[in-house]
Structure 1
Amino acid sequence: MLKRHSPDVVIIGAGVVGAACAYYAACAGLSVAVVDRGPVAGGTTGAGEGNLLVSDKEAGPELDLALLSAGLWNELAAALPQEIEYEPKGGLVVAPDQASLEALRRFAEGQRKAGVEAAEAAAEDLRDLEPHLAPGLAGGFHYPQDAQVQPAQAAARLLAASGAEVHLGEEVTDILLDAAGAVRGVRTPRRELLAPSVVNAAGTWGGRIASLAGVGLPVLPRRGFVLVTEPLPRVVRHKVYAADYIADVASGSAALQSSAVVEGTPSGPVLIGATRERVGFDRTLSTEALRRLASQAAALFPVLADVRVLRTYHGFRPYLPDHLPAIGPDPRRPGLLHACGHEGAGIGLAPATGALIAAALTGTAPPVDPLPFRPARFGEAADEPPAGERPPTPPRRTP
């Protein structure tokens, strides 16, 4: 027999975005239920590095969201226990030649006008910031607002702090609608959660959840790999990457792209990302992707050339064609809100996303302009993704 519960809002997804939505909705006085077909942080969040970046975003709506989030992460770090491993380490973007450095100058100038702190570092000053950097670089920019968290811990702590009723290992099989076509809750094999609002925070599964409600949202998976080294002394102080990483982030190419992002961690291992490719939900290990990452990391930090890689992992970023997340109410289905499609920036943008969702749920003033993130911008019926890029239909679970 199905159990019935009636919170104010049901959030589908227990990753860091769903957890942030739960936290800020609860802070706004709403009762919250969270449901996920897997564990907390079992999808994209658990495969992330924990990047909280402003350095890779050009002036515009996403940067506005990132700056809001940067301030909120600071507040959360003070409010939540230390287990989230918040580290305001700052970022360093380096240029291999003068042409790249000039492009970084133009990029940083636009960011500064939006409120980003960006300080140019001359070639001779780079080694003061990162003593183990390769010689011969033309210069770079230091971004003190870049930071990092441990993403799975952050999701778990936000969920716990929200006081939400959490249902894990339960796949949402239906979005419940009333006679007028408005959302009235969700169904899993074990229960019905009745609520006037449902938030789709299902990450790469966001398109499938939208389809359960009868609307289109063209979320596609974009695979990425990370290398994890043996524990080391703190040989990398900041989050360090080359200028071409910014172009990779903005690209819509389906082909393999790689640009090393190198960072130390409090526990010792160095994390090395990042690759991007659209190969659907293919979990095959790509030796070419790993080879590129290792080579590019050693080019930035020669000290890493002989360091052992203990493991690799990969995940799927929830990609939308215009590189902006879908956040807010969906006018095509009253009561449905979306909080997905953040691609590789979901951890960094999670608090601002949660704040926007809470504002929409309570009818209060949004903290940033929500218009660029409106879910219906893709049209009444979003194109069906290619067969290889659709989320596989999971087997139905019995109660």
Structure 2
Amino acid sequence: MDRTRVVIIGAGIIGAACARELALAGFDVLVLDRAGAAAATTSHGEGNILVSDKGPGPELELAQLSRRLWPEVLAALTERTSPEEVDAVEWDPKGGIVVATTAGGAEALLPFAAAQRAAGVRAEAMDSDALTSAEPFLTERRTAAVHYPDDAQVQPAGAATALLADALRAGARLRTGREVLGGVTRGSRLTAVRTADGQVEADVFVNAAGPWSGEVARRLGVPLDIRPRRGEVLVTTPLPPTVFHKVYDADYVGAVGSGAGDLQTSAVVESTRAGTVLLGSSRRRVGFDDRTRPEVLSAIAAKALKLFPSLAGVHVMRAYGGFRPYVPDHLPVIGADPRLPGLWHATGHEGAGIGLSVGTARLVRELLTGTAPAIDASPFRVDRPAVLGGPPTVTEAPNSPPHTAPTTEEGP
């Protein structure tokens, strides 16, 4: 029997994880990307694998699944490849600390952590002495703190590359510079996508194009409300050991869950293996406008200094930004599109795609094969009201080709 042919649109970490999972399961997998592997959103992230920022509900369940799977995936990679490739992932289960610096922040943080504990999250309240011991350079102006031992970090491009390389070892193929321009249907089913280099046929197509997923869906003839939400990060010069966990203020959870389009910032501070310190984060909806705004960087730096005053005077060597795939109800979109048989989606993770990637890939594989999913996948279904409207025109990528709906081939 011929193997099921799957085309994955997008070679970021979600596409890479899906390619690996499906290739190892025996599917015939081809990955298409309009640019290069891990070249867009994935390479502009911080590499967070978090449970700390998610309240009880479907996204937390997906995060918990993914957090369990990450060590298993890395162990499997270790058996099949070189130590250098696995080392490039920079897996660091260093844990996270959420800090409140106001009375109101403490009043929100502590009940939030209690609800997470009831959902199975390890969330440990810290007294002042424990906090000072864990983060000696942290501000003394703090009203509450919670330690999340299961928060972790990877180098995002390294992690995506390792997952994709494992998929290629399992037989998957990669074609870069292949932008999807439209679709071809036979009857009501999507049977091919069109690129500048010709048609690519398959049995199943997985839209894993991140912030561009809405545009890809539109070109295939089905609206999908995935919008870009921009974020920026500052990177310091290498420092002596200064930050030992992922540390962020309690406002971060509210910023993640907000749907506001104007600028929001919160302090997120963490070190990398190279000794640099990453300072985030911002969220704003500006379409695909990729201009760096000095006022945004200033706001990020000011919030970071409130948590770590000792960073004053430290040199920033670069700043970068990227687009997160935003969904109005803040849940990923995972599963088959009932409006266009043959089309599936794995997108809409906003800033959590690195952490949720391996769990998302597991769900895609289970749903495709008819296996009972590890968690309830119905909250992520495509046909929910929040995602069916399609993004407004303002969010489309500049200089994008004109709308090209699917063409139809006559056939049985």
TM-score (norm 2): 0.92
Q: Deviations over 1:359-394 (max 9, x none)?
A: 122111111111100011137951441x33222343
Rounded to whole Å, the distance in 1 between the matches of 2:245 and 2:387 is: 44
Rounded to whole Å, the distance in 2 between the matches of 1:169 and 1:85 is: 28
Q: Deviations over 1:282-304 (max 9, x none)?
A: 11211111001111111111111
- Pick aligned residue for 1:73 from 53, 70, 73: 70
| 8 Å contact from structure 1 (residues 86, 147) kept in 2 | yes
Which AA in structure 2 matches 1:40? A
Q: How many residues align?
A: 389
Rounded to whole Å, the distance in 2 between the matches of 1:103 and 1:394 is: 43
- Pick aligned residue for 1:346 from 339, 353, 359: 353
Rounded to whole Å, the distance in 2 between the matches of 1:317 and 1:379 is: 17
Q: Is 1:333 equivalent to 2:340 in the alignment?
A: yes
Q: Is 1:128 equivalent to 2:133 in the alignment?
A: yes
How far did residue 38 of structure 1 move? 0.5
Indicate the larger mover: 141-150 or 71-80.
71-80
Rounded to whole Å, the distance in 1 between the matches of 2:58 and 2:118 is: 13
Q: Is 1:389 equivalent to 2:389 in the alignment?
A: no
Match of 1:108 in 2: 113
SS at match of 1:218: coil
How far did residue 132 of structure 1 move? 0.6
Rounded to whole Å, the distance in 2 between the matches of 1:290 and 1:368 is: 39
How far did residue 188 of structure 1 move? 1.6
SS at match of 2:280: strand
Match of 1:3 in 2: none
- Pick aligned residue for 2:33 from 33, 36, 53: 36
- Over 6 Å off, 4+ runs: none
Q: Deviations over 1:130-157 (max 9, x none)?
A: 0110112112000011000111111111
Match of 2:167 in 1: 162
Match of 1:22 in 2: 19
Rounded to whole Å, the distance in 2 between the matches of 1:30 and 1:137 is: 52
Is there any run of 5+ residues in structure 1 with no aligned partner, and where? Answer: 1-5
Rounded to whole Å, the distance in 1 between the matches of 2:117 and 2:264 is: 28
Which AA in structure 1 matches 2:36? P
Q: Is 1:244 equivalent to 2:241 in the alignment?
A: no
Rounded to whole Å, the distance in 2 between the matches of 1:167 and 1:353 is: 22
The alpha-carbon distance between structure 1 residues 380 and 137, as it changes in their structure 2 partners (threshold 3 A), is closer
| 8 Å contact from structure 1 (residues 318, 343) kept in 2 | yes
How far did residue 186 of structure 1 move? 1.8
Rounded to whole Å, the distance in 1 between the matches of 2:267 and 2:215 is: 32
How far did residue 42 of structure 1 move? 1.5
Which AA in structure 2 matches 1:44? T
| 8 Å contact from structure 1 (residues 229, 308) kept in 2 | yes
| 8 Å contact from structure 1 (residues 220, 389) kept in 2 | yes
- Pick aligned residue for 2:311 from 304, 307, 316: 304
| 8 Å contact from structure 2 (residues 36, 176) kept in 1 | yes
- Pick aligned residue for 1:45 from 24, 42, 56: 42
Match of 1:197 in 2: 204
Which AA in structure 2 matches 1:153? G
| 8 Å contact from structure 1 (residues 90, 144) kept in 2 | yes
Match of 1:138 in 2: 143
| 8 Å contact from structure 1 (residues 92, 140) kept in 2 | yes
Rounded to whole Å, the distance in 1 between the matches of 2:358 and 2:60 is: 14
TM-score (norm 1): 0.94
| 8 Å contact from structure 1 (residues 204, 391) kept in 2 | no
Match of 1:255 in 2: 262
How far did residue 395 of structure 1 move? 5.8
SS at match of 1:84: coil
- Pick aligned residue for 2:385 from 378, 381, 389: 378
- Pick aligned residue for 2:362 from 355, 362, 378: 355
The alpha-carbon distance between structure 1 residues 120 and 380, as it changes in their structure 2 partners (threshold 3 A), is closer
| 8 Å contact from structure 1 (residues 332, 380) kept in 2 | no
Q: Deviations over 1:49-83 (max 9, x none)?
A: 00001000000000000000001111122222221
Rounded to whole Å, the distance in 2 between the matches of 1:273 and 1:360 is: 35
Match of 2:293 in 1: 286
Q: Is 1:174 equivalent to 2:171 in the alignment?
A: no
Report the identity percentage: 51
Q: CA RMSD in A?
A: 1.5
Rounded to whole Å, the distance in 2 between the matches of 1:384 and 1:48 is: 23
How far did residue 332 of structure 1 move? 0.8
SS at match of 1:241: strand
Which AA in structure 1 matches 2:29? V
| 8 Å contact from structure 2 (residues 126, 145) kept in 1 | yes
Rounded to whole Å, the distance in 2 between the matches of 1:70 and 1:381 is: 29
Which AA in structure 1 matches 2:54? K
Is there any run of 5+ residues in structure 2 with no aligned partner, and where? Answer: 78-85, 403-412
Rounded to whole Å, the distance in 2 between the matches of 1:380 and 1:137 is: 39
